[in-house]
Amino acid sequence: DGGITQSPKYLFRKEGQNVTLSCEQNLNHDAMYWYRQDPGQGLRLIYYSQIVNDFQKGDIAEGYSVSREKKESFPLTVTSAQKNPTAFYLCASTPTRGAEAFFGQGTRLTVV
């Protein structure tokens, strides 16, 4: 079955540590995105990539980094510079000419 897989579903991190969230898709979509959801807020765009080896900052990129070495994969690293990392993180993808983004199941990151 085609889809977007995010792992792990739950992640705990100590303050000061970097952590990487995985996102893999087998939909052959060109573009991939990372969003963050906080309680009472909509999803906010962190980073996006329209093509391999290229990515752009979204609205809240500070404290995050990404890479796009393969079409199928778009990992997100939450660095120690991110001041409020506890949130629900969602990865999404779109085909070349599609506007409707398809989302993964999300990763709940908690800083302890």
Partner 1 sequence: DQQVKQNSPSLSVQEGRISILNCDYTNSMFDYFLWYKKYPAEGPTFLISISSIKDKNEDGRFTVFLNKSAKHLSLHIVPSQPGDSAVYFCACILGGTSYGKLTFGQGTILTVHP
User: Contact letters (x/-) for partner 1, 33-72, by CB under 8 A?
Assistant: x-x----xxxxxx--x-x-------x--------------
CA–CA gap between residue 63 and residue 101 (Å, rounded): 24
Segment near partner 1 (CB under 8 A), from 14-22, 62-70, 75-83, 100-108? 100-108
Residue 109 contacts residue 78 (beta carbons within 8 Å):
yes
Task: Count residues near partner 1 (CB under 8 A).
Answer: 31
Segment near partner 1 (CB under 8 A), from 12-20, 66-74, 75-83, 84-92? 84-92
CA–CA gap between residue 44 and residue 64 (Å, rounded): 13
Residue 74 contacts residue 90 (beta carbons within 8 Å):
no
27 binds partner 1 (CB under 8 A): no
112 binds partner 1 (CB under 8 A): no
Which helix (H) or strand (E) is 46 found in, with range?
Answer: strand 43-51
106 binds partner 1 (CB under 8 A): yes
CA–CA gap between residue 96 and residue 66 (Å, rounded): 20
Q: Name beta bridge partners: 31.
A: 94
| Residue numbers at the binding site for partner 1 (CB under 8 A) | 4, 6, 9, 31, 33, 35, 40-45, 48, 50, 58, 88, 90, 92-94, 97-106, 108
